Structures are given as C-alpha cells and as structure tokens.
Amino acid sequence: MSNAGVPDSVKCLDGVDYEVVKHNAHFEWVTEYENTIKRLSSEVFDTLGVQDEGRTLDVAVKGLDGFQGDLKSLMDALVKQVIDNSSVDDRAKSFAGEWADAAKYHADLKYHHAGGGPSAKKVRWGFECAIKYIIVCATHLADKGDVDFKKEVSGYVRDVIIQSLIDRLNGVKSELEALQKTS
C-alpha cells in the first residue's frame, strides 16, 4: 500500500499491531464484527463464488466502491463530531482530520482496480482488510481523549463505519443470490 500523500501522523501507525489494539478498552466488540465480516466474505467469495470476470465480479466491485464512497462521507462526519466536541484536545482534532484525508486518499486509489484491473482476490482483500485499517486508526484517535471520548469514537466506528462495511457486504451477498436465481 502506497503511503505517498498520507500525513506523517497516520504513517506512524504502520508498525501498530492490529491484533493488539483490537482488544483495547471500549473496542472489545471488534472480534465479533471481524468474524461477521470474514463469514460474509466467505459466503460471498467462496460459497456464492465471485469470479475474476463477469457479473459476479461487477457486483462485488460495486459493493466495495460503494463502501469506499460511504467511508469518505462517514469520515467527514466523524471529523465534524470530533471538532465540534469542545472537550477534545487539538491533537485529536488534528489526527481525525489527517486520518480522514488518508482514508479518502486510499479510497480514491482503488487498489482493487490496480495492476490489470479488479479481481475477486483484490476485492475480497479490500473488504477484509478495511476493518484492520479502521480499527488501528480509531484506537489511536480514541487514545487521544478521556473515557467518554473513547466510547464515542468506538461507538461511531462500530455503529456507523463498520456497520456500513457489513451492510455493503450483505448487499453484495443479496445481489449475488438474486443473480444466481435468475441464471
């Protein structure tokens, strides 16, 4: 993954271990949601069988592109929420903005389209790895505030951002099931 165009405050997270931070206080829910994403991903890519070309791949790409579009607007809302919170310090406000910029930058790169175009493997990787990037950044942001701020960040990430990812995967699954019925 390219780091060009990514703020240094976000690049510093490269060495952060997702397997450690997903157990941080107020992020205990992550494993359950991660398992849901893995299960849905398996249903979509293994059971329903997204192929490397054709309509099934188009459906999966549309789902990931949709999530990335959602992520951009959801990050803007998170930044506004952090900036509007008078009890949050400037470090948190700054990091929230830089994280949003980095997330938008990576979404705009559309890695799953690189190197010869999209493939089932690249799209699956995009869905499955999104939670890792989001949680590493979210825990870093949450650690810049008090307990209430940690809960607020965790709740937003769980109920809005990660739920959007799950909803998009469910949408892909439903579309693929409908496609199978018409084939």
Would you kindly state where each structural domain of the chain is located, as residue ranges?
27-182
Q: In 5-119, which residue ranges form alpha helices assigned H by DSSP?
A: 8-11, 18-21, 30-42, 55-84, 90-109
Could you identify the residue written with the tokens 């309509």?
55
Global pTM value:
0.88
Which CATH number is 27-182's, of 1.10.10, 1.10.30, 1.20.120, 3.10.310?
1.20.120
Q: According to the model, what pLDDT value does residue 1 have? A: 44
Q: What does pLDDT average to in each consecutive run of 10 residues of the chain (183 residues)?
A: 49 71 90 96 91 90 94 96 92 93 87 79 91 91 93 96 97 94 83
Whether the CA torsion 35, 38, 40, 42 is positive or negative: it is negative
